[in-house]
Amino acid sequence: MNKTTLLVIGGLVCLVFWAVGVYNGLVTKDEGVKTAWSNVETQYQRRMDLIPNLVNTVKGYAAHEKETLEAVIKARAEATQIKLDIDDLSEENLAKMQAAQSSLSGALGRLMAISENYPELKANEQFQELQAQLEGTENRISEARRVYNETAKEYNTDLRVFPGSLVANIFGMKSHPYFKSDEKASQAPTVQF
């Protein structure tokens, strides 16, 4: 073999190793996004699991708050019907899930607010524990969503910049959508005295 052939073969071998390295890096980051998504789902499931106990506790003290209790149950049912797989996650599907989760958060907020009208409920140890667990879960959901977005950002950035974009196009790798803040979050609440 002459020098030119060896240089071409050596260059091709280096190119293959480079492409494999970039591909493996993208796969590793994609798996990180999937893990972060799983953590988001776990925290949402934790909240779903707390809700029946909370509703039953409130029901014992505030039975005539039927409308609020039914709203929580309905919102939970709607939120649990939305199942998203990370491989089929799109901005539209994620927006639908966020809307259902926001509706559930609103219903839970109303449920927590009615406790102000029932001192016995507010003083109930089980209610206090469930309320603390729910608050902690809401914080965990927020943190899991933040970590997911950060992990998705790193992956998506690698997909868009060279050389990752070249390898991603060859292997058909797609970006992951982000959680966005609720549209209502940018509106200042109206306060009237």
Q: Is 186 contained in some domain?
A: no
DSSP state of 117: G
Residues 188 and 157: their CA atoms lie apart, in Å, by 32
Q: Is 117 contained in some domain?
A: yes
Give me 158's structure tokens.
């690698």
112-164 pLDDT, tens per residue? 888 888 888 888 888 889 989 999 999 999 999 999 999 999 999 999 999 89
Q: Is 193 contained in some domain?
A: no
Q: Is 55 contained in some domain?
A: yes
The answer to whether 87 touches 174, Cβ cutoff 8 Å, is no
72-107 pLDDT, tens per residue? 999 999 999 988 888 878 899 899 999 999 999 999
Q: Is 82 contained in some domain?
A: yes
Q: Is 48 contained in some domain?
A: yes
Prediction pTM value = 0.83
Residues of the chain above pLDDT 70, percent? 94
Cβ neighbours of residue 63 closer than 8 Å, sequence gap 6 or more: none
Q: Is 56 contained in some domain?
A: yes
Host domain of residue 140? 33-177
Q: What is the mean pLDDT of the chain?
A: 88
Q: Is 159 contained in some domain?
A: yes
CATH number of the domain encompassing residue 55: 1.20.1440.20
Domain count, the chain: 1
Radius of gyration of the chain (CA): 24
Whether the per-residue pLDDT at 49 is higher than 90: the answer is: yes
